Structure 1
Amino acid sequence: YNMKFKLMAVLVITAALYSCDDSTTGVGDFVSNIDKIEAFSDTYKVTSRTEKLDKIYSRTNRAYLGKYTDADFGQFSADFITQINCPENFELPEHLIGITGASLELYYTNYYGDSLATLTVQVDELDKVIEDADTDLYYTTYDPKKYYDETAKPLARKSYAAVDFSVSDSLRNTSTYYPNIKIDLGDDFSKRIQQKYTDNPEYFKDAYSFINNVLKGFYVHTVQGDGSVIYIQDIWLRLSIDYYTERESTGKIDSLAHGSSILAASKEVLMSTKMENDEKLKEMADSENDNYNKFTYLKTPAGLCTEVNIPIEDIYSKHSNDTINSVTLSIKKYRYSGSEENSEYEMGIPQNVLLVRKGDYENFFENNKTYDNKTSFLGTYSSNTNSYTFSKLNRLISQVFSEIRTGENNNEDRDKVLLIPVTTETDTEGNIIGVSHDMEVNAARLFGGEKGEELSIDIVYTRPNGTTK
């Protein structure tokens, strides 16, 4: 339908329109006889559907580990490959007696699921050096078997729970406590690292030499259990060492000392998380399935997004000569992402959602772009309205109108956008400088769907009085 309203205070309202957005859509300028400018609103139906993301770009310095089966979304698992960085000119103490132990330590900031569920993690050593050309590792669907021998004896196994109740409440509740899983890598591993250091200390001069000659990396994965996923922030390889100290005054060996030296995974080396969902997500994205096509979903990580089809051709046929001042899409969220009775561990709500043209989706993440408010936009969940709102889409409409006029980008995805849950990275001043896939366990069920409640997009445009389409 089309609603028309006159501007009563022309100068004030016109200024307000321009203050909303400095990018408008249309041809021609406003005529000088400004008191005849009229503003109009228009509403168009949009359609939406759930789309399964088969793979997502996951190059990150965080890792995820665990397995969880949800009554609504099925089973999800996460494991990872990581290299270990060796700082330049790394050295152990001069009077080294020996490396007495080695442990892989996983420090995590949070978790999803059952704090008491027991899972078993296994650590395998990689037997292939990861090359720069191995771009498959930048995605959540890589095959770890290409990088380690699954028939070989694993380095270590350890059972753990997301909350370690062997640690006292008084310690666990302090601000300095950092939850972690410490995995003993065994004597053979320790002795091998010591032998490498003794025979070829130059192998420890930098990360490249270390990775190529000493330790190619680890594959860390869950082999038993179900119930939690941990969000890992730091990964350390701790080498426990015995060495002699010198007395400063004489320079002679004074006493025996015990200590440790830490090598960490860091952004200078590769870390890649592998994620798997069972067939449940494919079922939820089936537009023919009447159990799921009355709404759409957002599900992270590596799960479901929502596709929105905007009727660009209809809008263009009516408004190609108008000045479109704002285009707003708002989509409400249901209270529960799944069934209320299944919400034993309610998933988090995706807080930030990227709206990006479907044809630009892969390129956006692979090239580490940030949203430009032209072909990609960021929407934030509002608890007040219980919705995600995108209010500057006139810039997208302007881009597509231009393509229609020139005949560019004329394909079936031209009028489609994807809504993808993301996390943002900010600089010290709070400016968003990076956008990446949300890798934590979050979900939302949205209004819409092929057989659900009708969605709409709202347009405000101006047309000088007397001008007709």
Structure 2
Amino acid sequence: MEIVVDSSFQKLITVESVPNDSVVGRTITQLIGRISIPGYGKLETDFLTQFMPAAAFDTVGVDRLDSLVLYLNYNADSFTGDSLAPMQLSVFPLEKQLKSPIYSSIDPADYYNAQGMPVALKSYNASYLGLPDSLIKLGYKAIRVKLPDEMADRFFQKYKEDPSTFSSPSRFAQFFPGLYVKTSYGSGCVVNVQNSVMNLHYTKTTVINDKDSTYVAAQTLMAVTPEISTGNHIKLEVDPMIQSEIAAGKVYLVAPAGLNVLMHFPTRQIVADFEQAVGDGGSTIQGLINSLILHVPLKEIANNSYGLEPPQFLLFVRKSELQKFFEEKELTDNIRSFYAKYDSNTRSYSFTGLRTFLNDVIEKKRQGTEITDADEEIVLVPVSVYSETVSSGSSYYYYSYSEQEVVTDIVPYISAPSIALIDADNIKLQLTYSRQTKK
């Protein structure tokens, strides 16, 4: 048995930056703000969202509805830019239900009255200055937006009249399509909102020890969850300096909704050379692919005063299958699609499991499906990968316990401004295979 390591194919790889200005925005992450970053571009973000209603409201003994508040919660470090930059957002009710899938290029004017007045305005900044220590220790902050009292009364009365309206997201969306939260003033900061809820504050009377007791209370009426439709409206103007460098041959990744990398992957040549090496007569009678590894390094970016990081993950998928991947909420199957995590120590991404991609192509070729251009047009796309820990235990004479990280969602990367410069001259592609010879 002979082990062959072949790195000759990397010279056939070519890469280029391609626009990625209309991504599927299926994520509960919501970006709000406006910022201009030298060496990156101008980014403006807002969002449209439906809400998951609470199945039950507390209505017994409620004397007065005090306020309805939209809380946009974010972590201490979940913003880009100047935390003291004065910003303002405005809130508009949607007038019709959001269509799915929602793309970042969505026109909000299709869903709200652009000539109408907002139902709420809120000035804010991302800083923790002025917050009490008790809130700072929690590690998150909320942009608190008071909504009209009429809206609070409308929800409350509707629940008392017809609780079934709140029984499912689809039924509730017919009654209340959602909100459009728009950046209306300011520049210099973009906030990544991880959790959005709408809370009702009210005064309630109850009987305690045969005496009436009045107190204030609050309940969550609705929230943004993975089950409902929500989308980020993103406008990114890539810095002219980046555009000129791309025209000169450099290759950039920019997110969110900026630039992907289109790669010519030499699938035909790899398969042809492998099949010739292991099955074209002579003394060779058998071959097995051991591994196919793609290593994508990055270069330092000179003009990066904001310290923007590369995307945490890259998706490897055929260009022809990209939109389907996100629209149908697929996960990587490690046959037709893969992801790699950014390694900050080596400043690179490594796709180590591409052996199965090649085996799949070879098997289909043997069954009569020829390799096409689509098999050689690969896109590298910035994504966020979400996972959860799954525990399992078993016993048979003894007890065993294990935990495993299971990927639950892969979505286009929209968490924060991000940029990477591909070191195109040093991309590595290494094929390792075994072949057996007859003596």
TM-score scaled by structure 2? Answer: 0.84
Residue 418 of structure 1: aligned partner: 379
Q: Please say if residues 98 and 194 of structure 1, whose CA atoms lie closer than 8 Å, have aligned partners that are also in contact.
A: no
Which range is displaced more, 156-165 or 385-394? 385-394
Distance across 2 between alignment mates of 1:417 and 1:443? 19
- With over 3 angstroms needed to count, the CA separation of the structure-2 counterparts of 1:346 and 1:292, relative to structure 1, is farther
The total of aligned residue pairs comes to 409
User: In structure 1, how many angstroms separate the alpha carbons of the residues matched to 2:166 and 2:360?
Assistant: 53
Deviation at 1:183, TM superposition (A): 0.9
Structure with the higher strand share, 1 or 2: 2
Cα offset, 1:280, TM superposition: 4.2
Determine if contact 1:91/1:204 at 8 Å carries over to the other structure.
Answer: no
Moved more, 406-415 or 304-313: 406-415
Matched, 1:41 2:6: yes
The aligned amino acid for 1:309 is: H
Q: Structure 2 matches for 1:1-40, cutoff 5 A?
A: 34=1, 37=2, 39-40=4-5
Q: Is the 8 A contact 2:201 2:219 kept in 1?
A: yes
Are the equivalent residues in 1 in contact too, given 2:54–2:220 (CA < 8 A)? no
Aligned-residue offset at 1:403? 4.5
3-state secondary structure, aligned to 1:278:
strand
Counterpart amino acid of residue 419 in structure 2? A
Question: Aligned equivalents of 1:38 and 1:231: distance in 2?
Answer: 49
Q: Secondary structure at the match of 2:358?
A: helix
Counterpart of 1:229, as a letter, is V
Partners of 1:409 and 1:53 in 2: CA distance: 29
Is residue 83–residue 189 contact of structure 2 (8 Å, CA) maintained in 1?
yes
RMSD over aligned Cα atoms: 2.6
Kindly tell me: are residues 292 and 264 of structure 1, through their superposed partners in 2, closer, same or farther at Cα, counting changes over 3 Å?
Answer: farther
Give the deviation of 1:264 after TM superposition: 2.7
Is residue 420 of structure 2 the alignment partner of residue 444 of structure 1? yes
TM-superposed deviation, 1:268: 3.4
Instruction: Specify whether residues 346 and 205 from structure 1 end up closer, same or farther in structure 2 by C-alpha distance, changes over 3 A only.
Output: same
Name the CA distance, whole Å, in 1 between partners of 2:49 and 2:36: 25
Once the two structures are TM-superposed, the CA of residue 113 in structure 1 deviates from its matched residue by 1.4
Partner of 2:117: 153
After superposition, what is the alpha-carbon deviation per residue over 1:201-229, rounded to whole angstroms, capped at 9, x for unaligned? 6645554554433x331110101111111
Alpha-carbon separation, structure 2, partners of 1:206 and 1:400: 44
> 2:435, 2:355 → 1: CA distance?
15
Give the greater-gyration-radius structure (CA).
Answer: 1
Equivalent of residue 178 in structure 1, options 130, 140, 143: 140
TM superposition shift of 1:267: 2.9
Q: Partners in 1 of 2:336 and 2:354 — Cα distance?
A: 8
Q: Secondary structure at the match of 1:400?
A: helix
AA paired with 2:297? Answer: K
Which residue is equivalent to 2:255? 300
Out of 110-119 and 412-421, give the one that drifted further: 412-421
Per the alignment, residue 268 of structure 2 pairs with 313
CA distance in 2, matches of 1:409, 1:439: 37
C-alpha displacement of 1:42: 4.0
Within a 5 Å distance, the mapping from 1:323-338 to structure 2 comes to: 323=287, 324-336=289-301
Structure 1 residue 284, shift from structure 2 partner: 4.7
| TM-fit CA distance, 1:158 | 1.0
Cα distance per residue 1:303-361 (max 9 Å; x no partner): 2121211223333332224333322221211122xx33xx3321122222111122221
* CA shift for structure 1 position 128: 1.6
Spell out, residue by residue over 1:425-454, the C-alpha distance to the aligned partner (whole angstroms, 9 max, x if none): 223231323322221222211111xxxx36
Q: Which residue in the other structure is 1:264 paired with? A: 222
1:365/1:409 CA distance change after superposition, 3 Å: farther
What residue number does 1:274 align with? 233
Query: Does the Cα contact within 8 Å between 1:300 and 1:438 map onto a contact in 2?
Result: yes
* Kept in 2: contact 1:142–1:274 (CA 8 A): yes
Conserved in 1, the CA contact under 8 Å of 2:45 and 2:233?
Answer: yes
In the alignment, structure 1 residue 397 sits paired with structure 2 residue 358: yes
With over 3 angstroms needed to count, the CA separation of the structure-2 counterparts of 1:366 and 1:67, relative to structure 1, is same
Which of 165, 170, 193 is the matching residue for 2:129? 165
1:222 maps to 183
Q: Which residue of 1 aligns with 2:397?
A: none
Mapped contact 1:84–1:263 kept (Cα < 8 A): no
Partners of 1:262 and 1:38 lie apart in 2 by 62
> How far apart, in 2, do the equivalents of 1:163 and 1:328 lie?
44
Q: Return 5+ residue gaps in structure 2 as ranges.
A: 279-286, 390-403
3-state secondary structure, aligned to 2:97 = coil
Identity of aligned residues (%): 25
Aligned to 2:321: 360
Is the 1:81–1:272 Cα contact (8 Å) retained in structure 2? Answer: yes
Aligned to 2:392: none
Question: Residue 157 of structure 1: CA displacement?
Answer: 0.7
In structure 2, give the amino acid aligned to 1:187. Answer: D
**What SS class does the counterpart of residue 430 from structure 1 fall into?**
strand
Q: What whole-Å deviation, never above 9, does each CA across 1:146-168 have from its counterpart, x for those lacking one?
A: 21111112101111111142314
Establish whether residue 95 from structure 1 lines up as the match of residue 95 from structure 2: no
1:38 and 1:465 in contact (8 A); partners too:
no
- What secondary structure sits across from 2:23 in the alignment? coil
Q: Which of 339, 342, 346 is the equivalent residue of 1:381?
A: 342
Question: Which of 91, 114, 132 in structure 2 is aligned with 1:123?
Answer: 91
Residue 111 of structure 1 aligns to which amino acid in structure 2? F
- Note the 1:105-120 alignment, pairs <5 A: 105-109=71-75, 110-120=78-88
| Equivalent position of 1:67 in the other structure | 34
Give the letter for the 1:302 counterpart.
Answer: A
Query: What whole-Å deviation, never above 9, does each CA across 1:221-245 have from its counterpart, x for those lacking one?
Result: 1011111111112212122212222
Distance 2:46 2:245 in 1: 33
